Amino acid sequence: MSAAILIVDDEPALNELFVIGLNKYGYDTEGVLSGKDCLDLLKTSYQPDLILLDMMMEPMDGWETLTHIKANKQNRSIPIIMQTGKNLTYKEAEQFSFYIEDYIMKPITPKRCVDFIQQILDNRKELMQFIEKVRNSGCPENQIDRLINLHKAIDVSKRLLNLLSDRYGSATIVETESEKYGPEEFQIFREKIISEYYSLQQKMGI
């Protein structure tokens, strides 16, 4: 069965391009033109295998749409690739690590997008095996959920770090006038979640 892909982008021409293009590569692709349309569709029986979500939409942007998706227990496990022409910052990468699977910079063609999509779907199979193992451990539900979230965040943050390193090198990015957040701070974040992951894993006996 073909993987179901949902395109969420408020540019009609680009939306149609990706729906047609990804269908040609064997995916069962649907497209919606707003965050609200996405959320409304997910309230139905439709359940995509992956969502390709544009960041820069109006009036509901990609981050707000993403937050609503992850707040819903039925939909929070759907893999999401964020797609945007906006440069990712290290601070945003920290926030996104727990919510998305990858981050793609526009412009990009459907053909190039296939590699990102397939990698996430392949990784998803491994993640589901890990989740099944953890769910069968008999540990408290809050520990299980936290371990799964950390497992995913470690993998995603590594990919985002590679993307950021290619774009910025070792430069520190000024987030606000009073705060600087760059590769050093992001690496501290990664070390923190990795440490928590192994400590929790040891505590759970997994």
User: What's the Cα-to-Cα distance from 96 to each of 39, 71, 72, 81, rounded to whole Å?
Assistant: 19, 14, 17, 10
- Nearest Cα neighbor of 53 from 96, 9, 16 is 9
Q: Taking a C-beta distance cutoff of 8 angstroms, is the pair 83, 52 a contact?
A: yes
Nearest to 117, CA basis, from 15, 38, 22, 10: 22
Q: Torsions phi, psi of 24, nearest 5?
A: -65, -25
Instruction: List per-block mean pLDDT (blocks of 10 residues) for the chain, which spans 206 residues.
Output: 93 96 96 97 96 94 95 92 88 92 90 93 88 90 94 94 78 54 91 97 91
**Which residues are 181's β-sheet partners?**
173
Two structure tokens written together for 201: 């894993």
* Token pair of 10 as six digits: 């408020």
- What's the rounded Cα separation, in Å, for the pair 167 and 175? 16
- Full-prediction pTM beyond 0.85? yes
The number of beta carbons lying within 10 Å of the beta carbon of residue 117 is: 23
Q: How far from the centroid of its chain's Cα atoms is residue 69's Cα?
A: 11
Nearest to 64 by CA among 74, 53, 52: 53
Q: Per residue in 35-70, pLDDT tens?
A: 999 999 999 999 999 999 999 999 999 999 999 999
Q: What's the half-sphere exposure (Cβ side, CA atoms, 13 Å) at 166?
A: 9
pLDDT at 177: 45
- Whether 156 and 100 have beta carbons less than 8 Å apart is answered as yes
